[in-house]
Structure 1
């Protein structure tokens, strides 16, 4: 929570410095040479140190490791879970289709340009086997902050549902079985992150974006039933963790598209509030969802919930003015109180290693204006 001033954060993924994106792509495709493979751990370690330093330089309070080691915020899970086969045939209906881009096919190629990641099929029992990879991430982050003045740290992990969205299932008899198998496995990663002293952020675009991708073929009522199951899976996975140490990110996707098939917040907000974690990280800056602050005004928000509204649009190259940032922050503070607002970005700036929504330097400029806007808001809220 914010105390004495508005704290700032973001959604987790940040542009990878130097040639790391290319190396992560080569690793994904099995193209690393012996020399580049041996040098990659140090390259990742240096990248984490760089993004930590840059977050602190622009004044962000609650920082992440930028997801430097991951090919993608969701698909990295295939490297840490057993049961997936990249060569397996995709089951019928298992491919990704984005409803708004289907309506505008000429836009689709440019919207997703640079997005490279494999999406293997689940063909066997899912178990967590990524202990060493997670330990490396935690160690790199710890080294990067050693000797630095850091307010708080968080680390991202994929939700059970977003794994199911990207990685289709051929093994489990039902989608529910698959979701809860993911939940049981990812519970290991979730608890390890919190045990290491970090806040856990569960990335769950499936709670909103899933409507126009995974469940575009369903009626709205059918989708809302599926949403309940996805929420139950998250709650099951974090049942042993203090809710104050977990935040959940929901969004409609940070790709540049019309988003005219996005489900409206007012149709899902009562269900979202069933999430056990206290922190709610959500889009509130872009053209499609900025008006939905009215939904929060009209909603009975439990007192244990802390709002992390996006006040930066991660799909636009406009650098928001600090006064606009301040106005957005104060508006949310008027709803839940100044202590329960921690502003950030709508989504990640580099959700996949090779897919950067805006120029990296624009991303850092936006984070700098976030902290400037938070300072203005603090002056107004604690005057």
Structure 2
């Protein structure tokens, strides 16, 4: 609902700033646990990076990531099938979780990949050309082999965030306030008293900043300097015959992702250009060329859409999850870089465990803010 002028503070047990997938999953878990939650979003829930990404439920090359990211990713991967079924039942919106596996083409660090798979117990194998073209007949010709991860899934993220929003809107303990931009904070003696918005102040017992690429700017108003920056990513969408591409295929750092209705996404760019979300012709051409190299038949298909989003970049891609030093009721969950949707279930559960005093699902130390804030002091 649009943010209407407030006559008095709205007081919930938890006040969440940012309505992307991180903010909405945090809200859902807190509401499931019986708590009242107010969620503030400056635009429409789920319409920034959560909507703009591809929906692969794994880091692109998971063996190239640090252990803290792998732990979050592994936990989240197992959660998505259950979440998708739940949201479909509760809202009638199908997030389209598909576990069709992923084909890696032309991997130049295969020994590292196989060693990682053995260490973490992940199914990953080298397959020959017959297997590859049986699974993906339209893949680029002439390849002798590929790597195959059969358990990898993908989710249609615009439908996921639509389903999350619909579920939250139906929960009596949740107050959604969209088109409600945060303009500052009222604080005293190490406590956030209220969040100031374009419609007036809003109060909550515990305040959680889930602002994605905007998290750093929000926290700067409290003189907290979080090293999170916007990193632009552009993608294109092909309209294709259903079945042209059957599963996620990754080659040379670019990927194609099929949807159930025949659409195929191709992505993505990595651009350091501040908060500029302009979709550029050069990026469109580069993405088209990469997609056609992976699936040559895409050259005959219409490009239906081209867009850009802003990822919340962090120094090493590890998100910041937990309490903000110097405040007794301020917390953050931000800095997921390219893996916000991938890591969302685990990172939100990890924070909610801390907020509710439960045994956390993972060791919290790698995600704490204290070291990061000390390095920027």
Q: TM-score, normalised on structure 1?
A: 0.28
Larger Rg: 2
Decide which structure has greater strand share: 2
Decide which structure has greater helix share: 1
Q: TM-score, normalised on structure 2?
A: 0.28
